[in-house]
Amino acid sequence: MSTSEAREPIVLTHCTVWDGSAAATQADQSIVIGADGTIEAIGPHAEVLARLGEYGASAATHVDLAGAVVIPGLVNMHVHLGLGLPGPMQDALHGSSDAELVLRMAGNAREVLQAGVTTVRLVGETRYTDMALRTAITHGAVDGPRIFTAGHALCCTGGHGHDSDGLEADGADGFTHATRAQLRAGADLIKVCISGGIAGEHESIDTPQLTDEEMAAVLRTAHDWGRKVTAHAGPAPVITRAVELGLDCVEHGYELTRELCDLMAARGVSYVPTITVSRCEEFFRANQVPEWMMNRALAAGPRHWESLQHAIAAGVEIIMGSDMPPQAPFDGTTATVREIEFMVEAGMSPQAAMVSATSAGANWLGRAGEIGALVPGAAADLLVLDSDPLADISALRSMHAVVQAGRAVRDDRGMLHALTGSL
């Protein structure tokens, strides 16, 4: 059915709901999904049924979820749909035409959506294929999560990512131009690599890679255009300089200190830890990354974990992002779910970890109340689980249905026929 055709509201009844921010789930709730794919009403079953006259009670289709738990679709804030790690993945990236690359990314996007991630923030793609894919998904030509993208990551000559998704620049003028080039292409945010990382053979994690003048040029230009800036970064001294210059978000933060985390919390700087990337030997071996990279990543693991714990203790806003492909198999689940579980293992409450994976990302993207939440007026992006992740975060492993904008894109048990192809 096309979006121009009217269809009756769908009412999901007898479900336990978590709205993306509350301290607890609410039992015996109902959700009214309108013809436009947004949530029309949500609340206690009896109250919602009493209000159905506003939507045409006789026409509404009821779907009994028999007590299943419904949560917002997940928001993964560190994704590369065209990931090109050193080794065969990078060889495939370099050997692909633009058409081949965007088709590969589209296939990944479909798998990401079916894994329960309904929104992604892309933080480094190449050849502006991300912009083309974003348009195709927006227009309904292909299935995939909502995309917010940085375009190319920005790096110095030979800097982190220069051989994959990085756009090289040097000097304040060079970085100003590179930032404007991403904005011209339609970037929703800017990502800049200010230090080395685990995937650069000729660098180390603590290698500084931008001058203060270069960082300031990126920040000033992006902020003038109303865009936020996030930074690939490892060592505390480099991150401290960037935070003092006005950085909005830190990716990875392999070597954070408590003092730096206190500064980040005071300045309102968010943190996307991507904790999976320093403990995912299974994924590295499956994708034949070189030994030097795997060894560097795993060796960074203990200090990376300490960084996450410093951020938790300091009250830094922590936002979920996997860096690993969100849908990649990992420890018996997906990289996204494992990332959230790691956050809880590091000391976050299940509720805080779930906020980091839903409404916190939406807030950072400037889409509070539109995505990452189950509230009236928000997109009907939702997941159906067997049990409550606020009681036990591993409940995310029981996900069996995914709905995006009121359309079921995964329905393992055939419960949501009324939402299949409804938009």
Which domains, and CATH codes, for the chain?
10-72+374-419 (2.30.40.10), 74-364 (3.20.20.140)
Structure tokens at 184: 């011209």
Cα–Cα distance measured from residue 360 to residue 64, given in angstroms and rounded to the nearest whole number: 30
Model pLDDT for residues 358-417, shown as the tens digit of each residue: 999 999 999 999 999 999 999 999 999 999 999 999 999 999 999 999 999 999 999 999
Q: How far apart are CA 222 and CA 124, in angstroms?
A: 16
Give per-residue pLDDT as tens, 265-310: 999 999 999 999 999 999 999 999 999 999 999 999 999 999 999 9
Banded model confidence at residue 52, pLDDT cuts 50, 70, 90: confident
**How many whole angstroms separate alpha carbon 189 and alpha carbon 181?**
12
Spatial separation of the C-alpha atoms in residues 312 and 346, rounded to whole Å: 8
pLDDT band at 68 (very low <50, low <70, confident <90, very high): very high
Please give the pLDDT value at position 1: 35
The enclosing H or E element of 385 equals strand 382-385
- Summary mean pLDDT of the chain: 95
Q: What is the DSSP letter of 198?
A: S
Residue 243 has pLDDT above 90, yes or no: yes
Q: What digits encode the pLDDT tens for the residues 112-138?
A: 999 999 999 999 999 999 999 999 999
d(CA 85, CA 103): 18
pLDDT of residue 154: 98
Instruction: Please give the model's pTM, rounded to 2 decimal places.
Output: 0.96
How would you write 275-329 as a 3-class SS string? HHHHCCHHHHHHCCCCHHHHHHHHHHHHHHHHHHHHHHHHCCCECCCCCCCCCCE
User: For tokens 């000097």, what's the residue?
Assistant: 171
Tokens coding 366: 């400037």
How is residue 400 written in tokens?
A: 């069996």
Which one is predicted more confidently, 201 or 70?
70
Helix/strand/coil for 351: helix
Q: Are 195 and 186 in contact (CB under 8 A)?
A: no
CA distance 211 to 192: 12
Rounded CA-CA distance 364/260 in Å is 20
Q: Give the end-to-end CA distance of the chain in Å, rounded to a whole number.
A: 5
Going by pLDDT thresholds of 50, 70 and 90, the confidence category of residue 257 is very high
Report the b/e string of 338-374 with b at 16+ CB within 10 A: bbbbbbbebebebbbbbbbbbbbbbbbbebbebbbbb
Structure tokens at 101: 């690359």
* pLDDT exceeds 80 at position 190: yes
- Tell me: pLDDT of 3 over 50: no
pLDDT at 34: 92
